[in-house]
Amino acid sequence: MTSAEFVCKLRAVGARAYHDKHPFHIAMNEGRLSREQLRGWIANRFYYQKNIPRKDAAILSNCPLREIRRAWIHRILDHDGDERNEGGIEAWLRLGEAAGCAPGELWGDRHLLPGVQFAVNAYVSFARERPWPIAIASSLTELFAPDLMGARLAAFEKFYPWIDNAGLDYFRRRVSQAGRDSNEALAITLEHCNTPELQDEALSALEFKCDVLWSILNSIHHDYANCR
């Protein structure tokens, strides 16, 4: 298929399967979550956040192309941070503190659900075991993240004023970062998934990542359904 057709099919996966359509996300954006439910989501999502650098390191370890490694390595620092810049993990910890979750609880996985752990670990294993262009294609959920982050930020500011506004910096940052990252990953995917077989694998990888994100929310939604 042509590049344009390929991009259309990638976007169709998100239109159909991205987790912004999950009932838990819809409830979040409509202001219907209790404090306990929101804290449960923040605590469990942290396990995903802290494993993103491990996923990206797995991609780097499998990639023989220096130019791709140079382009991709910033993602690890975006989340882990360094002596000059706070990373996404630290920003998420501040979100947790603003919502009443102590950092030690998040680092210690005190509220981690087995289903969330299984889904996130499966994603890290996928990145480690699959060819690097296919693992990169799985990250293309970022194509749909800027709109999600914008809607989430607006919902938190409107419906959850008990969360200190400074704790929402992670969402503000990802609105722009996700657009940059998705353009980068899409360009790599178009260049290196350049046969019908690789394009089909890339589409399946993106579907898999959507399933991972959906499964995370399934576990949280089920466990915290009756929390008020």
State what percent of residues in the chain have pLDDT above 90.
81
Q: What is the pTM of this model?
A: 0.93
pLDDT digits (tens, 9 = 90+) for 70-101: 999 999 999 998 878 888 999 999 999 999 99
Q: What is the mean pLDDT of residues 9-24?
A: 94
Q: What is the mean pLDDT of residues 111-129?
A: 97
For residue 177, how many C-alpha atoms fall within 13 Å in the half-sphere facing its CB? 15
pLDDT score, position 146? 84
User: Quick check: 226 pLDDT over 80?
Assistant: no
CATH H superfamily, domain 3-223: Heme oxygenase-like (1.20.910.10)
Burial of 52 (0-12, 13-18, 19+ CB in 10 A): buried
| Cα angle for residues 173, 211, 24 (degrees, 5° grid) | 65
User: Quick check: 228 pLDDT over 60?
Assistant: no
What 3-state DSSP class applies to 109?
A: coil
User: Quick check: 24 pLDDT over 70?
Assistant: yes
Q: Is 81 left (phi over 0), alpha (psi -120 to 50) or beta?
A: left
Cα-Cα-Cα-Cα torsion 81, 45, 137, 69, nearest 10 degrees, comes to 20
pLDDT score, position 180? 87
Indicate the pLDDT class of residue 45, thresholds 50, 70 and 90.
Answer: very high
pLDDT digits (tens, 9 = 90+) for 160-215: 999 998 899 999 888 878 788 889 999 999 999 999 999 999 999 999 999 999 99
For residue 103, how many C-alpha atoms fall within 13 Å in the half-sphere facing its CB? 7
Helix (H), strand (E) at residue 182: helix 169-192
Burial of 82 (0-12, 13-18, 19+ CB in 10 A): exposed
DSSP strand E in the chain: where?
Answer: none
